RNA sequence: GUCCCGUUCGUCUAGUCCGGCCUAGGACCCUAGAUUUUCAUUCUAGUAACAGGGGUUCAAAUCCCCUACGGGAUACCA
């Protein structure tokens, strides 16, 4: 048997956000395509005209691009570093493929696989209600128009009644499908009704359009959510009616919310993909996390790159059970990625969150200082949107929080220390405070200060120089260094958390340190 | 109602296909300790699971059956 080029597709309908479940489906398709050396196609299923919007389309495209899921064929999209889309099997919007559906529908009508149905929505509702009332084991179309005579059809037409097209399902036939995840599953067509392929207005419905496109686009593998499992059976029969072989199917379980229920927009922590972007989640981390929902990279590793995932990905090893979404682990994963970056990389990534608090010009003017600020918080944040709040104390004199007040009150000598330490700082060649020009103070110093690193040389007081001066002073004053740091940090930063004490003093600069110490000394 | 799928630490999972290497491994969370000027990071240690019941077998998390529970489907949505 000839093995065709693997071609996979993700086929979203642009009727809303790309939530993480959809993103994961796209990712599994993408990963399988990449690992097989095949093509990844993005097809837009916009036949539900009432709900499809261009806005949703853009959200989906941006969401995929943000996660680094690139497509070989599909809508064209400029992702900055590359252009996705295009391709010779287009158009990739279903509403632009109506001719193909029309042709194929005519073919199926002619071959008897489809028939015209004149039943009204009202009648269908009534049939359905009766079936429920009778506790029927079968719910669905009753086949009213399945065997209409020509005369009956003509009569309907003459009354001006529009028809839709239904697929004639085989009666009582067992369909065996081989699913890459579920294995062999048997379904009896008794469960399925004659479903609608084409609406009265000529617009096709999902199960029909999907097959026509999968045939035309030479799709070889279909990876999608398990809510489509039964659709797979219906589609199977359309492929058969059309004389084509079925693609391989893989139905992946859904992502569940923390309670084990279906993911919905109301669930906390379960948002549209772009919301994660806007909250400063690193895309690599989100990618990594959702890959893990239903799949294991290896027995002892959870953190891996896109390339590593592609190399390791096997669709058959995706689990059959639904996975619950755990925001806490996502957050841990984010922190893990942020810590992997160099300080410089982190700075660039943080740009928008820093500039939300700072004048644009400070990006260049205080480049070194910002680099050091970011570096000090790199191991203290999990999402980048934490930055604005974290750096407030550097920008304006802080209100003291409870822990800070407590820390100051704990030592009866606090206020004397503030005054004395302020006096000391005034004698040192310290860098100025933001927004004043700090000269090249930040050029030589690379924060955070770590044990054992060589001491930088600078005409300014470095954290190491500050520490020497402070320790010596404390010794002369017979102050226990450990006692002194807590209250002073509180006075300087307004809290008892944060970077190393001398990094704090260094970053804050002379004027602000002295001002805050004297202010607290007098309260 | 009917049909399909599932169920390993609180959570994500490894192991299940081809029963013995499983006194069930890793990660998140939590707890304790170490390091530290705080917080964080880092490191060490600890708690914690084969849904229940029957079989088959010398041997079952792994195979079979039943029950319970969960998810999905049952649209002129996708």
Tens of pLDDT along A457-468?
A: 999 999 999 999
Burial of A395 (0-12, 13-18, 19+ CB in 10 A): middle
Q: Given this model, what pLDDT does residue A453 score? A: 87
Distance in Å from B62's C1' to A246's CA comes to 32
Residue with minimal CA–C1' distance to B2 is: A137
- As a whole number of angstroms, the distance between CA A20 and CA A236 comes to 28
Tens of pLDDT along A252-310?
A: 999 988 777 776 666 655 689 999 999 999 999 999 999 999 999 999 999 999 999 99
Distance in Å from B48's C1' to A20's CA comes to 29
Give the architecture (CATH level 2) of A402-522. Answer: Orthogonal Bundle (1.10)
Residue with minimal CA–C1' distance to B69 is: A260
The CA dihedral of A126, A130, A133, A135, to the nearest 10 degrees, is -130
Distance in Å from B34's C1' to A347's CA comes to 32
If DSSP states are collapsed to H, E and C, what string results for A231-267? Answer: HHHHHHHHHHHHCCCCCEEEEECCEECCCCCECCCCC
Q: How many CB atoms lie within 10 A of CB A507?
A: 29
Given the residues A132, A162, A265, A320, select the one marked as catalytic.
A265
Q: Which CATH number fits domain A97-252: 3.30.200.20, 3.40.50.620, 3.40.50.300, 3.20.20.80?
A: 3.40.50.620
In contact, A195 and A234? CB cutoff 8 Å: yes
Read off the pLDDT of each residue in A195-199 and give the average, rounded to a whole number.
Answer: 97
Active site residue A265: yes
Q: Where are the domains of chain A?
A: 7-93+256-324, 97-252, 402-522
Q: Can you say whether residue A143 is alpha, beta or left, with left for phi > 0 and alpha for psi between -120 and 50 degrees?
A: left
Mean pLDDT of chain A: 94
- As a whole number of angstroms, the distance between CA A241 and CA A235 comes to 10
Tens of pLDDT along A30-84?
A: 999 999 999 999 999 999 999 999 999 999 999 999 999 999 999 999 988 888 9
**Res A148 pLDDT > 80:** yes
CA distances for A401 relative to A33, A494, A496, A512, angstroms: 53, 6, 9, 18
Distance in Å from B16's C1' to A512's CA comes to 64
β strands within A95-253, DSSP E: 114-117, 164-167, 174-179, 183-188, 196-198, 221-225, 248-252
- Percent of chain A, pLDDT > 90? 88
State the DSSP H helix or E strand holding residue A64, giving kind and residue range, or none if neither: helix A54-66
Residue with minimal CA–C1' distance to B35 is: A451
Residue with minimal CA–C1' distance to B77 is: A48
Read off the pLDDT of each residue in A180-197 and give the average, rounded to a whole number.
Answer: 94
Distance in Å from B66's C1' to A128's CA comes to 34
Nearest to A32 by CA among A263, A276, A317, A286: A317
3-state helix, strand, coil in chain A (%, to 5): 50, 10, 40
- As a whole number of angstroms, the distance between CA A381 and CA A170 comes to 59
List the nucleotides on chain B closer than 7 A to a protein CB. Answer: 1-8, 10-15, 25-29, 36-42, 70-78
Same fold, A97-252 and A402-522: no
CA distances for A515 relative to A248, A330, A423, angstroms: 71, 41, 11
Class of domain A7-93+256-324: alpha beta
Q: Which nucleotide is nearest to A120 (CA to C1')?
A: B76
Q: Identify which has the larger pLDDT, A302 or A3.
A: A302
Report ipTM for this prediction.
0.95
Nearest to A281 by CA among A325, A240, A329, A227: A329
């Amino acid at each position: 048997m000839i093995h065709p080029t693997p071609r996979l597709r993700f086929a979203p309908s642009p009727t809303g956000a790309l939530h993480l479940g959809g993103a994961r489906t796209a990712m599994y398709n993408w990963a399988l395509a990449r690992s097989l050396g095949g093509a990844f196609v993005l097809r837009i299923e916009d036949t539900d005209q009432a709900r499809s919007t261009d806005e949703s389309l853009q959200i989906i495209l941006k969401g995929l691009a943000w996660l680094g899921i690139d497509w070989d064929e599909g809508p064209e999209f400029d992702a900055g570093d590359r252009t996705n889309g295009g391709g010779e099997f287009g158009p990739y919007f279903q509403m632009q493929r109506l001719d193909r559906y029309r042709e194929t529908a005519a073919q199926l009508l002619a071959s008897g696989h489809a028939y015209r149905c004149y039943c009204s929505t009202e009648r269908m509702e009534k049939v359905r209600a009766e079936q429920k009332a009778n506790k029927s084991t079968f719910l669905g179309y009753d086949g009213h128009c399945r065997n209409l005579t020509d005369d009956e059809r003509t009569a309907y037409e003459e009354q001006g009644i529009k028809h839709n097209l239904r697929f004639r399902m085989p009666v009582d036939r067992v369909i065996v499908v081989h699913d890459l995840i579920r294995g062999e599953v048997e379904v009896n067509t008794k469960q399925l009704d004659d479903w609608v392929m084409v609406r009265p207005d000529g617009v096709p419905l999902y199960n029909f359009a999907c097959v026509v496109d999968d045939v035309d686009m030479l799709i070889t593998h279909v990876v999608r959510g398990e809510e489509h499992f039964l659709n797979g059976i219906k589609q199977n029969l359309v492929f058969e009616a059309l004389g084509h072989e079925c693609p391989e199917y893989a139905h992946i379980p859904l992502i569940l919310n923390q309670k084990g229920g279906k993911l919905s927009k109301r669930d906390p922590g379960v948002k549209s993909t772009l919301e994660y972007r806007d909250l400063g989640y690193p895309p690599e981390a989100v990618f990594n996390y959702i890959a893990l929902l239903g799949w294991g990279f290896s027995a002892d590793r959870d953190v891996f790159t896109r390339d590593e995932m592609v190399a390791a990905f096997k669709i058959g090893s995706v689990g059959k059970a639904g996975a619950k979404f755990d925001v806490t682990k996502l957050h841990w994963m984010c922190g893990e990625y942020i810590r992997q970056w160099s300080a410089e990389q982190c700075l660039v990534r943080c740009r928008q969150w820093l500039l939300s608090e700072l004048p644009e010009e400070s990006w260049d003017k205080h480049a070194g200082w910002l680099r050091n600020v970011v570096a000090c918080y790199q191991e203290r944040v999990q999402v980048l949107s934490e930055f604005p709040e974290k750096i407030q104390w550097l920008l304006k004199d802080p209100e003291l929080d409870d822990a800070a007040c407590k820390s100051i009150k704990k030592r009866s000598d606090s206020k004397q220390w503030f005054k004395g330490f302020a006096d000391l700082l005034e004698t040192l060649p310290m860098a100025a405070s933001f927004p004043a020009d700090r000269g090249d103070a930040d050029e030589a110093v690379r924060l955070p200060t770590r044990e054992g690193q060589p001491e930088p040389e600078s005409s300014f007081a470095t954290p190491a120089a500050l520490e020497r001066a402070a320790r010596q002073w404390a010794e002369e004053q017979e102050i226990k260094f450990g006692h002194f740091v807590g209250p002073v940090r509180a006075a300087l930063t307004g809290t008892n958390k944060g970077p190393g004490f001398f990094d704090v003093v260094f970053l804050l600069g002379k004027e602000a340190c002295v001002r805050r110490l004297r202010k607290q000394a007098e309260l």
